[in-house]
Amino acid sequence: MAQQALLIALFPLCAFVIQALFGKKLPRHGDFVSVLAIFGSFVVAVPIFTKLLTQGHVFETFQVTWMALPGVEASGKLNSAANIVIGVLINNLTAIMLIMVTLCASLIHLFSVGYMHGEERYHLFFAYISLFSAGMLGLVLSDNLLTFFMCWELMGLCSYLLIGFYYKKPSAINASIKAFMTTRVGDTMFFLGIAALYYVFGTSNFMELYKALQQGAGHDVMIAGFPALTFIGFMVLMGTIGKSAQFPLHVWLPDAMEGPTPVSALIHAATMVAAGVFLLIRMFPLLEASHTILPIVAYIGAITAFLAALIAIVQVDIKKVLAYSTISQLGYMVMGVGVGAFAPGFMHLITHACFKACLFLCSGSVIHSVHTQDMREMGGLKSKMPITFATMFIATLAISGVPGFSGFVSKDRILGGALAYSMEHQGHYLIPLLGFATAGITAFYMFRMIYMTFFGHARDEHKHHHAHEQPVTMTIPLMILACLSFAIVFAGPTGIESIDHMMPVKWFDHALEGAQHEMGIAEHLSPEAEAIHHHAHGLALILSLAVAGLGIFISSITYLKHILKAETLKKMAGPVYPLLWNKYFFDEFYIGILIQKGLLKFNHFLAVFDDKVIDRICVDGWRDITMGVKSIIGRFDDVVVDRIMVDGTADVTAGGGWVLRQFQTGKVQHYLVLTVMVIIVALFYANLGLK
């Protein structure tokens, strides 16, 4: 089965090759190739998933030697210790990820057919997006960090290409290079983490890593002055921070909205950015073993979630709101992993992928219809676009944490985990605090978006007039994704555990338990801890319902009923508002200070240094030295010194025609004189030596 599973990644890869080479000549510019390929992947992924559902557990591996690097043992025999082995790992996590990615990708492909219709470079769009799907699926299938990283980077490339898809637009290409470079900061460090992993464990295979960790390997190794596990853990975290747009490398994701909307849905909401969280989950045993990293993870997540949510409040671009909300939700997942709520973190990854993809596609549908992204120019679209409205509303309920929807289940569990963590570890009260605050803010800005877009009166009559519902290829994906936003898909009818625990089938929890067992992190809580957890989850349920309700309430009275003026809120915020509007001045700091004042100045300095100091002074400067000798000797003999020393010696040693052009006579005999002098010196020494 593992070999067949490779097809899941290979289908889109083949589609990419076909599209890139022949796409332009195919009928319909070959969009069907990509769509069929990803549906093929979905079809292959389904049996794996059904196996998980029916048997509760899947585990398959398949490995090949990719690079044989023979080493020699002391006895002189060749060995293969350094060989690089890659392969496919299919376990519960993989199976869930596969079905999620293939499903979302299929739907988004389908949506793109309508959305991108008639665009220039239509075939390339599908080529890139197929390559992306191949990368993401390859990443999910990888059983080792090396291929994981390769796919990771491949996705980075596709992200770059797709953000810069409208390559004539300066803002788009700036955003694309920013995205690539910012994530590459994290990627580079992630790669160092992989190298360190190789050094410590001699492998990057996940299963072997888990086994080694269970045996307690790696605790006594130091790297560059740090404990190895902490070093690796930190580097892996940096990878996540780059890819999942966590604070402080979150700046690229909002700009990435320059890409076409399906790209935002697929890459910058559902899959690629979630890959960072997936990485943390895959590496969880290592993070846990290092002890120092997990709190950092939790804080990074909590801070990101909170800061991004705050910015989202003031955004007026519908896609930017969603972008910041994505950052914020990713922060939740990271926080969940950080507080040890590993399963809820993963669950949130999946649920978020579904409802965020839905939200993005809905926003795409709106944008496609009214040709603007500015929410201030929308309004009152509810009647014009009923399906879009309904699906988007469902997804909004899900992300806001309303019971009965998927987002509620996962978010509530994360918050419960965070609360339990702060109860167990005194002093970490900031984490749940930020978490709950974010939950409220999320509900607020999401409903703000819904109200501004669909309710009220039309603010731009012209645009409103032309608005229309989208064709069926675009609405079907919306509906399917909206269906997946209900809690029942993942947990139970309401999502509230105490009510739902009679439900016989809780496939998700079973699958995750299996996965945890496999990783060697199966929880065996002490009775006290059990009690704390139970208590915390109960408290979290009440609190999260309360804050979400509060958020929705404020949003409603402000943007729906206009009882509270948005202007009043703005005034109340005081100096915070400009801070949020300018996104905490991160861009100014990175681009203005670090890059322009720092890096580019330094580059320029080095280039000048290279040209003027090393080349001109150190190399060509021999001329000046000989010239200096000349002036010391003075006018000893015009003929000898000026014409011969300078013309001859200086130029030859000077090492450059710059000198030759200025001082050289080009006369044979002057060189000969020099030659003869050398001969004399040589003979003189020969005489000395022969004595």
Partner 1 sequence: MNHLMQFSSSLQGYLAVGAMLFSLGIFCVLTRKNAIGILLGIELILNAAAINFVAFSKFRTGLIDGQIVALFIMLIAAAEAAVALAVILRFYRLKQTIDADEASIMRN
Partner 2 sequence: MFPILSVMTYIPLLGMIVILALPRNNPNLVRWVAVVATALPLALGVYLYMHFDRTTASMQFVEQFDWIKPFNIQYYMGIDGLSIPMVLLTVLLSFLCIIASWGIENGVKGYYAMFLFLETGMMGVFCALDFFLFFLFWEIMLLPMYFLIGIWGGKEKVYAAIKFFLYTLFGSVLMLLVMVGMYYYSEPHTFNLLQLAQGHQFVGKTIALFGYSLPLDKLFWIGLFIGFAIKVPVWPFHTWLPWAHVEAPTAVSVILAGVLLKMGTYGILRMNYPILPEATLWASNFMMILGVINILYGAFCAMAQKDLKKLVAYSSVSHMGYVIVGMASFTTAGVNGAVLQMFNHGTSTAMLFLLVGIIYDRVHHRWIVKPDGSKGFGGIASVVPVYTGVMAIALFASLGLPGLSGFISEALVFLGAFSNPKFQTYVVIGSLGILLGAAYLLWMFMRVFLGPLNEEHKDLKDMNWRETFTLIPLCVLVIVLGVYPMPVLNLMGSTLAKLLTLFS
Partner 3 sequence: MNKVLLLAEILTVASALVVGFHPNILYASVFLLFTFCGVAVMFLYAGADFLAGAQIIIYVGGVTILILFAIMLTQWLYKIKLADLRNKMILPAILSVAVAVFLYRALHQMVATLPLQTPEALEKFTSTPKTALMGHALLGSYLLPFEAITILLLGAMVGAVWLARPE
d(CA 158, CA 163): 8
> Would you say 151 or 343 has its CB closer to partner 2?
151
- The answer to whether residues 260 and 165 touch, using CB atoms and an 8 Å cutoff, is yes
Q: What is the dihedral of CA 44, 47, 48, 52, to 10 degrees?
A: 160
d(CA 126, CA 123): 5
User: Residue 78 gets which letter from DSSP?
Assistant: E
Smallest CA-to-CA distance from 16 within 47, 41, 51, 50 is with 41
Smallest CA-to-CA distance from 304 within 348, 350, 384, 240 is with 240
What stretch of H or E contains 64?
strand 60-67
Residue 459 has φ and ψ, to the nearest 5°, of -85, -20
- The nearest distance, CB 173 to partner 2, in angstroms, is 4
**Contact pick of 150, 390, 532, 539 for partner 2 (by CB under 8 A):** 150
Interface characters, 343-382, with partner 2 (x: CB under 8 A)? ----------------------------------------
- The nearest distance, CB 667 to partner 1, in angstroms, is 5
d(CA 349, CA 344): 8
**Contact pick of 59, 429, 658, 671 for partner 2 (by CB under 8 A):** 658
**Contact pick of 657, 678, 681, 682 for partner 1 (by CB under 8 A):** 657
**Contact pick of 28, 56, 69, 681 for partner 2 (by CB under 8 A):** 69
**Contact pick of 618, 640, 676, 683 for partner 2 (by CB under 8 A):** 618
What stretch of H or E contains 256?
none
Smallest CA-to-CA distance from 532 within 614, 416, 682 is with 416
**Contact pick of 668, 686, 688, 690 for partner 1 (by CB under 8 A):** 668
> Would you say 581 or 684 has its CB closer to partner 3?
684
- The nearest distance, CB 167 to partner 2, in angstroms, is 5
Residues found near partner 3 in the complex (CB under 8 A): 639-640, 644, 669, 673, 676-677, 679-680, 683-684, 686-687, 690-691
**Contact pick of 55, 631, 669, 687 for partner 1 (by CB under 8 A):** 669
What stretch of H or E contains 202?
none
d(CA 56, CA 517): 13
**Contact pick of 666, 688, 689, 691 for partner 1 (by CB under 8 A):** 666
Tokens 């769509």 found at: 35
Applying CB under 8 A, does 665 fall inside the site for partner 1?
Answer: yes
d(CA 385, CA 397): 18
- The nearest distance, CB 631 to partner 3, in angstroms, is 21
- The answer to whether residues 401 and 548 touch, using CB atoms and an 8 Å cutoff, is yes
- The answer to whether residues 288 and 521 touch, using CB atoms and an 8 Å cutoff, is yes
Applying CB under 8 A, does 674 fall inside the site for partner 1?
Answer: no
**Contact pick of 32, 59, 62, 198 for partner 2 (by CB under 8 A):** 198
- The answer to whether residues 162 and 260 touch, using CB atoms and an 8 Å cutoff, is yes
Which of positions 581-600 make contact with partner 2 (CB under 8 A)?
Answer: 599-600
- The nearest distance, CB 690 to partner 1, in angstroms, is 14
Applying CB under 8 A, does 681 fall inside the site for partner 1?
Answer: no
Cα-only R_g, the chain: 32
- The nearest distance, CB 664 to partner 1, in angstroms, is 5
Residues that bind partner 1 (CB under 8 A): 657, 660-661, 664-669, 672-673, 676
Residues that bind partner 2 (CB under 8 A): 66-72, 74, 76, 78, 81-82, 84, 146, 149-154, 157, 160, 164, 167-168, 170, 173-174, 177, 180-181, 184-185, 188-189, 191-192, 194-196, 198-199, 223-224, 599-600, 602-604, 606-608, 610, 614-615, 618-619, 655-658, 660-661
